[in-house]
A and B are shown apart, each in its own frame.
Chain A
Amino acid sequence: MTGMVRPVRKIVIVGGGTAGWLTAGIIAAKHRSRMSAGFSVTVVESPTTPIIGVGEGTWPTLRGTLARIGVSETEFLRSCDVAFKQGARFARWTTGTEDDAYYHPLMVPQAFSQINLVPHWLAKNNGRSFCDSVCPQGRVCDDGLAPKTITTAEFDAVANYAYHLDAVKFAAFLREHCCEKLGVQHVLADVRCTNLREDGDISSVDTEQAGDIEGDLFIDCTGFKALLIGDALGVPFKECGDVLFCDTALAAQLPYPNQMHPIASMTIATAQSSGWIWDIGLPTRRGIGYVFSKRHISEDKAERELRAYLGPNGRNLSVRKINIRSGHRETFWKRNCVAVGLAAGFLEPLEASAIVLIELSAKLIAQQMPVCREVMDIVAARFNAATLYRWGRIIDFLKLHYVLTKRRDTAFWRDNVLPETIPVRLQELLLLWRHQPPWFHDEFDRVEEVFPAASYQYVLYGMGFRTAIEPAALAGDAKAAERAMRETVVHSERLCAGLPRHRDLIRRISEQGLQPV
């Protein structure tokens, strides 16, 4: 094959926000050394369009991501009103009663790679929950404790953790880091239109304030608008409202009664009549929102349920409405444009999957950055296959929370268990799991699964799912299982005695900072 090779050197990211700046940082950090030879990363950010600014839950992957792009955890914690997240607490999802709750923690079950504790727990648990039997993190969260101490190094954990953060401050923080430390260029301009070449590639974006901006690879981080992938390149959107019903969110920010008030160590997701309420505790205030289905409840009624949750302190709070279109692009990378973030798709934030998807997508782009246009379509196909797989798995996992409910009190919950609303792959998995509990080598064998097998265990057995057990099959591992569950108890006691209160640690970090090593 002869002909000029068209090098890919100019990366143009359209859109700021978490998606734009995290992607810029991940790519720039990986390709820093190429910048002297002409490689560039430019973020074109609108000075007028606001970012969505509500994405506040993250996964432990963000620790590694931030460390790899050279961020100091101390500075991040101080600048972005960050609190530690050790998992999620799902309240009222199974039976709907006041005391109905379970944890999906971030630590994997004890001895997870050596033994599957599920059948042993099912056989004998003395009324102790699955989470408490295999992992100390539920107890740590119950006691309002932090996942590390002031002597733990930056990004290191005593108990595995992720973050709750202020989305607006996070975007600003990342912007500063990218521009000052990673050589990312920043253009403040509104995109007027996208110019296409004959072959369908984007040649440039035309902006109000900065004229034409050319690029070799364009990354669409324009959010729900999807200016490039949707508008310019016409990639259709695949809705999944038939599986996940929620289509609206009402969001508010609730201040604490005082500065010393405890901060929750996990995301709290409380099921309601026609959806669920998220409750994310930052040091400065709680982010609270009702994610619901307009088909099942009116906006007025939903607001009333939200205000009931907010309580008297929330009486005068304003509530912001966000329309949600559940689903994702049919394809994510078309020609020389790839969508990351909300432009790629959106699902209700039940398991904080949005930001981790941004990380995984940006990492894939950075690691497999096509050197020239000639190989871009090959990398794009890989990206599309991996990303489509990931969206499918997230939809399955979120639906799992609904499918396992025993609630039949409203149409919302009744409709959620109708077979036609359950993806076939999930139906098959549920049948499999009725006989064999999920573990490592189940379906979750890709190198970078969004949700590992352990997550499925916590949700299934937190919601009372029963897997048939063969007592004879347990005999071989019985001693190891007993030891593992005993160790969990010891580990729990040690952590609960040794870890500081969450609020105290946040304050101390704000004063002293964490050591880098």
Chain B
Amino acid sequence: MQFERITNLELLQPEKHRHLCLGPVQDLTAHFVPIVVSEFAAAAATCPILLTKAAATGEFYAGALFGLKPGESWLENFIDRGGFTPLNVQREGFFITGEHIAIDRNSLRFSETEGELLFDAADQPSTPLRQIQRVLGQLQAGVEATSAFIRALLNLKLIEPIDITLRFDGGERLRLESLYTVSLDGIRDLDDASTLSLFRSGHLQLAHIMNASLKQIPILAQLRNRLLMATP
């Protein structure tokens, strides 16, 4: 049984957090990680990129698939191989609140002993913290750009549900539900004006990257199959 920690948000301030060190990312168990459009190209090289709906609002968001079901994730394996680390993973423990950065004080990334200090001797952000600031900035800009991309797809009716059923040696059958992708047929049927607009905004390229990333699904399935068969 997982012990659920309570989030304890604190505004990041050198006065309070002078002695705090930043350790490595702790939680590599997520099997579906939200990503933004600036990450699509890197993500597509190792993961399927898919859309799904947020449970609370029904809004679409994009994510990279690192495992085929909750509780199974190859995120760690991929990072070790020098693959893609999503911004949302890199930022673990940090949150943006208005103009400021806040941290979850209860996150195991923060301690007084492990890792590098968040602030230098002059109470300025250290190198690791400045890197986090960059990551958060990229995420913030990325979320808006991703929403715009999804809105453009919806307006042109280019989002379609994808039905993925996988069979494994040993008889297990996995059905991935509530996932969506871009319709290539829909893109092909677009009129010239819409196609040009999609190209100029960079959205056409993103759509093709998403589509190409679907080839990662059978690769993920193969990986899982081998691991399942290897386990005694």
A512 near B59: Cβ-Cβ < 8 Å: yes
Q: Is A150 an interface residue (CB 8 A)?
A: yes
Given A151-B53, A151-B178, CB of A517 within 8 Å of CB of B58: no
A515 near B58: Cβ-Cβ < 8 Å: yes
- Could you tell me the distance in whole angstroms from the C-beta of B58 to the nearest C-beta in chain A? 4
Contact partner of A150 among B56, B60, B180, CB < 8 A?
A: B56
Interface residues of A in 469-517 (CB under 8 A from B): 508, 512-517
Q: Is B55 an interface residue (CB 8 A)?
A: yes
A517 near B57: Cβ-Cβ < 8 Å: no
Q: Digit string of B149-190 for contact with A (CB within 8 Å is 1, else 0)? A: 000001001011100000000000000001010000000000
Docked CA distance A514–B154 (Å): 12
A515 near B157: Cβ-Cβ < 8 Å: no
Interface residues of A in 105-133 (CB under 8 A from B): none
- Could you tell me the distance in whole angstroms from the C-beta of A477 to the nearest C-beta in chain B? 28
Q: Which residues of B contact A152 (CB under 8 A)?
A: 58
Give the secondary structure class of A's interface. loop
What number of residue pairs across chains A and B have CB atoms under 8 A from each other?
29
Which residue of chain A has its CB nearest to the CB of B57?
Answer: A512
Docked CA distance A515–B161 (Å): 12
Q: Which residues of A contact B54 (CB under 8 A)?
A: 151
Given A151-B53, A151-B178, A517-B180, CB of A512 within 8 Å of CB of B159: no
B60 near A515: Cβ-Cβ < 8 Å: yes
Which residue of chain A has its CB nearest to the CB of B59?
Answer: A512
Q: Which residues of A contact B178 (CB under 8 A)?
A: 151
Docked CA distance A150–B59 (Å): 9
Docked CA distance A515–B178 (Å): 13
Docked CA distance A85–B109 (Å): 50
- Could you tell me the distance in whole angstroms from the C-beta of A297 to the nearest C-beta in chain B? 48
Given A515-B60, A516-B154, CB of A151 within 8 Å of CB of B161: no
Which residue of chain B has its CB nearest to the CB of A517?
Answer: B159
Q: Which residues of A contact B157 (CB under 8 A)?
A: 516-517
Given A151-B53, A151-B178, A517-B180, CB of A512 within 8 Å of CB of B58: yes
A151 near B154: Cβ-Cβ < 8 Å: no
A151 near B55: Cβ-Cβ < 8 Å: yes
- Could you tell me the distance in whole angstroms from the C-beta of A516 to the nearest C-beta in chain B? 6
Q: Which residues of B contact A151 (CB under 8 A)?
A: 53-55, 58, 178
Q: Closest 4 CB pairs between A and B? A: A150-B58, A151-B53, A151-B58, A512-B57
A residues lining the B interface (CB < 8 Å): 149-152, 508, 512-517
Q: A150-B56, A152-B58, A508-B57 are in contact. List 6 more A-B contacts (CB 8 A).
A: A151-B54, A512-B57, A515-B53, A515-B60, A516-B157, A517-B160
Offer 18 A-B interface pairs, CB within 8 angstroms, sorted by A.
Answer: A149-B58, A150-B56, A150-B57, A151-B54, A151-B58, A151-B178, A152-B58, A508-B57, A512-B59, A515-B53, A515-B59, A515-B154, A516-B154, A517-B154, A517-B159, A517-B160, A517-B161, A517-B180
